[in-house]
Amino acid sequence: MPAALRPIRWPASTPEALRKETPFNYAVGPDGNVPKGTSLIEGEWPGVRAGRQSGAAEAGPTGKLWVNANGWRVQQEQAGNPEQRVWLDHGATGNRVLTPYDYLLAMAEAETYGARWVVTEDAAGELPALTQAARFFSEHEEWTDWATVAAAGVISDFQGPIRTLSQEVLNLAGRRTLPLHVITPQRAEQQPALAPGVKAWLYLSMKEPSPALRAKLWSFVDSGGLLLSASPLQTAKATGSSNGYQWFNRGKGRIGVPDQKWSNPYALAADLHLLLGREHDTVRLYNTTAVNVHYTASGDGRRGVVQLLQYAGLRAEQNVTVALGRSWKKARLYTLTAEKPEPLIVTESRFGADIPVPALSTYAAIELEA
């Protein structure tokens, strides 16, 4: 069963006894063999991107540090099949010298999004720490079944000329701390209903939606939703123009069609966020520079987890506050090094709940109880 498997590329010299002592129980060979139900995709080593000239950290279009992240790759891969187990395989490092922190981040990042990282041959020296981390994630496997707490979503087939645009929207929405539901048109069509809680969908495909999906999207708009789409989906005449969009009212909601063809993924992610409105944010982070967040909750909404990935290396982020758009009663902090969880103070706020987090390095999970 793929969920129980943990992939690794063993160095040939590894003794059989050592192989059996670790939780890494699936050896990936040079041919990239993977079990059925698993998709092996190429990622890149996570971390802050260094500038080409200075070697200093590079700022991205968000104004924040530019990070190489892989969560969006997993989301894209799972968009058409959430049951698919995704294994992330990071290739050559180029000139980058990896540190113990990099291996832990690679594992934590993949696990956060419900994927597995294929442990690389050169990570042999870090096996004790990686083993401990793998056991931690195994103990919290249920988190991977929980749904993203998001008010925005992207419907995309990630094909044709919009492939890169769609991928970068996922990536940059993450840097804006805008969680997304991601789904392909085919799967959206098959599902009984679009994801509950989503108030704005971005439809990114070169193909018009099928009649069945269009009916779902219209129903979503009729009930007050916001849809951004390259075409008005055969809805009647535009009722106005603002913020770079032609607006088509339907029922209680509206469809926005861009005045100019979408080309800038950061601007598109920002449009989705701001046209939705920050009042619908589900999570905000304060005092972070290179942190991505993955916020999920159980189906009944009684439990949740905020997983924080810190991409800036060993330098811990200080005074981080996680603000959540709903109230939670209890919060516990897990890290990959602490033996037991630490209770956190949850303060009610106008937004919902504020949770101060002690110094944050590499990875932390805040488990929540309503």
Sites of contact with another protein (CB under 8 A): 63, 270, 274, 277-279, 281, 284-288, 319, 321, 323, 349-351, 354, 356
Cβ proximity to another protein: between 61 and 100 the closer is: 61
Q: How far is the CB of 315 from another protein (least distance, A)?
A: 16
Distance from chain centroid for Cα 236: 35
CA torsion angle 151 157 161 167 (round to 10): 50
247: which strand partners? 240, 256
- Closest separation in Å from C-beta 59 to another protein: 10
State the Cα angle at 25 between 21 and 28, rounded to 5°. Answer: 130
Q: What is the chain's alpha carbon radius of gyration, rounded to the nearest angstrom?
A: 21
Tokens matching residue 209: 């939606």
SS3 state of residue 226: strand
Candidates 370, 354, 269; CA nearest to 319 is 354
| Closest distance of CB 230 from another protein, Å | 22
Bridge partners of residue 89, in order along the sequence = 42
CB 177 within 8 A of CB 283: yes
CB 166 within 8 A of CB 154: yes
Nearer to another protein, 160 or 286 (CB): 286
User: Which CB atom, from 105 or from 323, has the smaller least distance to another protein?
Assistant: 323
Looking at beta carbons only, is 194 or 285 nearer to another protein? 285
The least distance separating another protein from the CB of residue 293, rounded to whole angstroms, comes to 12
- Least Å distance between CB 330 and another protein? 18
Minimum CB separation of residue 64 from another protein in Å reads 9
CA distance 98 to 103: 8
Cβ closer to another protein: 105 or 285? 285
What counts of helices (H) and strands (E) characterise the chain? 8, 24
Nearer to another protein, 99 or 287 (CB): 287
Q: Which is nearer to another protein, 183 or 306 (CB)?
A: 306
- Given a contact cutoff of 8 angstroms between Cβ atoms, the answer to whether 275 and 243 are in contact is yes
Task: Tell me how far apart the alpha carbons of residues 227 and 232 are, in angstroms, rounded to a whole number.
Answer: 9
Report, in Å, the least distance between residue 265 CB and another protein.
16
